Structure 1
Amino acid sequence: MGNHDNAHFFFAVKLPSETKKQLNEYCKELKEKLPFSRWVHHEDYHITLAFLGSAPEHKLNTAGKLVADSLEGTKAFPLFINRLGIFGKESSPRIFWCDTECEERLHVVRDKVFSACQDAGFELETRPFKPHITLARKWVGTEAFQKSSIDQYNPFKEKALEFDAAEVVLYRTHLDKTPKYESIAIFPLLAE
């Protein structure tokens, strides 16, 4: 896996490439209406389950084994992207995201992955899980961000974007590359 010095690692639900492309099309339209400083490369869209930060290889390997064990027998399931949202100050958000309809099975998968990483010795962020797909960062509009635009420009209003959550992936971050995230291990869920 090479040099780990400033690499970061995280487990995430993988989005199928069709879904990434579709989201990218929506973002091209949203970009023209909503000035954020950095839009995420479409190959980098994902739903984070557990952020590990930097990690020695042996610890990553342990986490991988434990995650694989904990997901054993877990079935793939559909998710429906249905809304836009923000994190941070309402007038000047730092994260712009889209989110899926609430799905208990996603929370179950997250709990399994999270516990496995803790068992592997990782100290994880304990904030409540808020599943989301980051689309852009840092509001740079001359005007304050209007929360109403989240509904106004929601591309999923008429029809949610459906995809199958079929793989959990261990990603490695390359800060100097675009796209940034490299898949280094894949944990498939059982076909429905």
Structure 2
Amino acid sequence: MNNFRLFLGLRLSEAAAEFLSSKMTSLVEQGLTFRSWTHPADLHVTLHFLGDTPASRVPDIGALAAEAAAATAPFALALTEAGTFGPPSAPRVLWCGLAEPAARKGALAALHAALGARLAASGFAAEARPFRAHVTLARGGAAGCSPAALVAAWHGDSAAPFVAPQPESAPRAQEKPAWTADGCTLFRTHLGRKPSYEAIGCYPFKS
């Protein structure tokens, strides 16, 4: 059976991707050691990870994604703080958070829920982890990537703070690139290739 490794997500604007690419370069130059850094062309916001999926299901996923997208109005997003998942002494993931304007706050979570309901109705397993929107920057931090080291490196070229993982606390928005999300994308992952993600379906939001 021919399987594709798939996920649904949002693309970043060119300005947001360039900002984060510059930030990652700066962190590397300052000696932050992670096993792998995200290729600038692969920066995205994951909505639903589908994993290894029969290629025959791609049309079904496309149809339900198009349906959810057609019921969603475009909404604004902005980059906020950096943070980590995993042990502070050797973080598993380095990420950048997202914020929405007060007038449309919750639009991203609503899209995630709409897609999740349709995926579940089509027989896809529900994700166990709660949705926490972010852009993954790097994975597999070494021992030298302690919160103190990350704070120092992040402040090396920006006034934006680095925050250790605190799920219960609200993100603090900063002056960062903002853009309007106007559609969602179905991505296929090509393991061992950089960039790794291929867009195989794009679904515009309602106009």
**Which bin holds the TM-score, normalised by the shorter protein?**
0.7 to 0.9
Secondary structure, in 3 states, of the residue corresponding to 2:120? helix
Q: How far apart are the structure 1 equivalents of 2:122 and 2:56?
A: 10
C-alpha deviation, 1:16, in angstroms: 2.1
C-alpha deviation, 1:161, in angstroms: 2.0
1:93 aligns with 2:91: yes
Q: Deviations over 1:96-138 (max 9, x none)?
A: 0001125411101111111121122111322110111000011
C-alpha deviation, 1:176, in angstroms: 2.4
Q: How does 1:73-88 map to 2 (within 5 A)?
A: 73-88=71-86
C-alpha deviation, 1:60, in angstroms: 2.4
- Structure 1 residues 189, 150: closer, same or farther in 2, change over 3 A? farther
Gaps of 5+ in 1: none
- Per the alignment, residue 17 of structure 2 pairs with 20
- Per the alignment, residue 128 of structure 2 pairs with 126
Letter in structure 2 aligned against 1:12: G
Q: How far apart are the structure 1 equivalents of 2:159 and 2:81?
A: 6
- Per the alignment, residue 117 of structure 1 pairs with 119
Q: How does 1:24-39 map to 2 (within 5 A)?
A: 24-33=21-30, 34-39=32-37
Q: Deviations over 1:56-89 (max 9, x none)?
A: 1332211211121122231111111110010111
1:146 aligns with 2:147: yes
Gaps of 5+ in 2: 161-173
Q: CA RMSD in A?
A: 2.1
1:163 aligns with 2:179: yes
* Contact map agreement 1:51 1:124 (CA 8 A) in 2: no
Amino-acid identity (%): 29
Q: Deviations over 1:9-37 (max 9, x none)?
A: 00001112332122101111122232212
Q: How far apart are the structure 2 equivalents of 1:150 and 1:128?
A: 26
Letter in structure 2 aligned against 1:105: A
C-alpha deviation, 1:156, in angstroms: 6.5
* Contact map agreement 1:77 1:165 (CA 8 A) in 2: yes
Q: How far apart are the structure 2 equivalents of 1:151 and 1:49?
A: 31
* Contact map agreement 1:14 1:166 (CA 8 A) in 2: no
* Contact map agreement 1:10 1:50 (CA 8 A) in 2: yes
C-alpha deviation, 1:152, in angstroms: 6.6
Letter in structure 1 aligned against 2:87: K
Secondary structure, in 3 states, of the residue corresponding to 1:92? coil
C-alpha deviation, 1:50, in angstroms: 0.6
Tell me whether 107-116 or 14-23 shows the greater mean CA deviation: 14-23
C-alpha deviation, 1:47, in angstroms: 0.7
Question: TM-score under structure 2 normalisation?
Answer: 0.82
- Per the alignment, residue 63 of structure 2 pairs with 65
